[in-house]
Structure 1
């Protein structure tokens, strides 16, 4: 495949620019003609700064909703994709749907076409659509995907709303501290030192911090950037280091429990959805591993997969890892016994989802006053460092 940067014109005389991967120029021309475009000029290769527009979760939810409605109405799959590509306003999604349409015309399955674009469509989408193609329940699968993606988007939105005020407050505190140490304190330093009194420890600390920021502030900023860069590269390049961080994260007092329950809610929802759509249990366990996004739990689930493959029951495999709570083990045992494993998994997902939301709200409610107290302590320290020498100087005056 060769990347072509093209400029084309439609029937109304409007120009269109884009990038397509095609085997040759003839295929490029034919593909644009199918879209109602006439090729004007093209160049091979895409620029290094070109990036495909990012597709957000809301765009994916809308795609799943529309696909469910069109397929339930009896619209053929190729025609449904063509209609969605034509009316979609998101350029990244429009280009992705056109690529999916071409792959289907070339003989690929819908799941294969979606999995060929991992930057646009998440792995869960292709895996569940694969199950829908095998079982003939493709419209129902898009309905399940709509509810699952909506749940993820709502949880992410809730976290974002809760962290907005603390983030703004942290930025304001950082700006206030920088202005204080680089502008206010240097102006007061000569006055405080001219009082002729022995300065208290708070004043000496404030002056030392101001001198340090004035002299080494740029180097400190570069050092922080370098540390963050090295830390990020170590997480991406070293699986051992990344696993160690995830392990320590689960051991934190409050945050660790929240992360653990969030992973359990995600796992129960995904496994129940895959099992309900007819995916074999072993295959569903394998597919759920990269979806957890937590390396310790991924390793535990891989151990469960091996134990179930060796002949153990699902409940015994989960119990052997010691990473899953007793409530989950009891409900899994009931699900295995009664043959309602998917229903038990969905109930567990609802339980952990409620616990995650409750703990998240509590954590965010505690975070705001904690930051406010920290800001008040910083102001108190500043007032003490400035006013104590002045007070000592006035108290030593004799009338």
Structure 2
């Protein structure tokens, strides 16, 4: 028997965390699910400090694992072989622990769930494959899902690189102007002793103050950044940040569609692997980042349990776009729900890609225009006294 930390919610929606004893994490999850609780996560006590496995190495591991299983090698031997081949010591240690658990009689899904850092969708997919006897087939579907997810994520990151680099350059130029260039002009004008325009005076005073207090300003900005990060990883902070992100112009709608696409593809993969609808919805809710959408999915689970259709349940949450629920309704009526969910994911992924490209095409000129206006104002303010002195000498 082992101790597990279980995070769950009761019928009133109150979230709590308990330490319970069970043979496996899956046994504990089933016990509380049958008791009427919604289980968010089950982790072995003391294992939460391990680092999360990165998506790309995890994909490579699953491709290799699938290849070995296809070749007829036993699961235990495949795990031991892949553990020895891992360069990442943390990942290798986890695989060694998984192999030891499997050797002692644990199921593969329970052995992975006892570790920290693995997506809930993966352990649930393994469980579905073990129960149906089609582990190889569900692993193939999961690897295909991972490939698409990784490719789409890389495309999004690549789209955001240029605007981020541009923002860094703009910030660096501003810091250089205010901490180096402007104080040099302040020294020059102090030596000349001429009366300066109000805008130039304010700019020189601010530049001089920033140069002398730059370290304190940097420390304050760093403190604010750390405080925001700590707030954003808390339960209340995640909800606040998610709500703010969804309400942002342009970006909010893109983020919402991306989460809908992720949910649809996750649910499609789980259903195609043979998992029943309610457990698949519970896993899909834990797999998405948006708290608003996850809560909407959790609310829909209750009505699905009562016999209502998935499309009607998702529509009642008022979170999912009408097009998504209409396509899901067609999938339910035709008996091809996994395939239709996959189509929903493909549609919204394409929509996200198009909308992101359009948004970035607007953001980049705005950044450049902002930089041009600020630099122009600074230069005009700095050189205005020189122009005034030149005009005065010409008039004499």
**Smaller-chain TM-score range?**
0.7 to 0.9
Alignment of 1:45-64 (within 5 A): 55-64=53-62
Question: What TM-score results when the alignment is normalised by the length of structure 1?
Answer: 0.81
Show the counterpart of 1:188: 185
Q: Which residue of 1 aligns with 2:90?
A: 92
| Counterpart for residue 171 of structure 1 | 168
- Deviations along 1:259-289, one digit per CA (max 9) or x if unpaired, are 0000000000011111111111111111111
Aligned match of 2:111 in 110, 113, 124? 113
Q: In the alignment, what sits opposite 1:364?
A: 360
SS of alignment partner, residue 116 of structure 2: coil
Greater shift after overlay, 370-379 or 265-274? 370-379
Distance 1:231 1:377 in 2: 30
Cα drift, residue 193 of structure 1? 4.7
Q: Distance in 2 between matches of 1:167 and 1:205?
A: 30
Shift of the 323–170 alpha-carbon distance from structure 1 to 2, 3 Å rule, reads same
CA distance in 1, matches of 2:54, 2:299: 33
Q: What is the aligned counterpart of 1:220 among 214, 217, 222?
A: 217
Match of 1:333 in 2: 329
- In the alignment, structure 2 segments of 5+ residues that lack a partner are 2-48
For 1:344, the equivalent position in structure 2 comes to 340
**Post-superposition offset of 1:76:** 1.2
* Kept after mapping to 1: 8 A contact 2:69/2:75: yes
Distance, in Å, in 1 between the alignment partners of 2:82 and 2:187 is 70
- Give how far 1:392 is off: 1.5
Could you tell me how far apart the structure 1 residues matched to 2:112 and 2:93 are? 12
Distance 1:216 1:351, change over 3 A: same
1:234 aligns with 2:231: yes
CA distance in 2, matches of 1:261, 1:61: 24
Deviation at 1:54?
A: 6.3
Match of 2:369 among 369, 373, 382: 373
Query: Which of 1 and 2 has greater Rg?
Result: 1
Secondary structure at the aligned position of 1:192 is classed as helix
CA distance in 1, matches of 2:341, 2:259: 13
Q: How high is the TM-score relative to the length of structure 2?
A: 0.82
Runs of 4+ aligned structure 1 residues displaced above 4 Å come to 51-54, 193-198
SS in 2 for 1:396: helix
Gaps of 5+ in 1: 2-50
1:258–1:356 Cα contact (<8 Å) kept: yes
Aligned length: 348
- 1:202, 1:384 within 8 Å by CA — same for their partners in 2? no
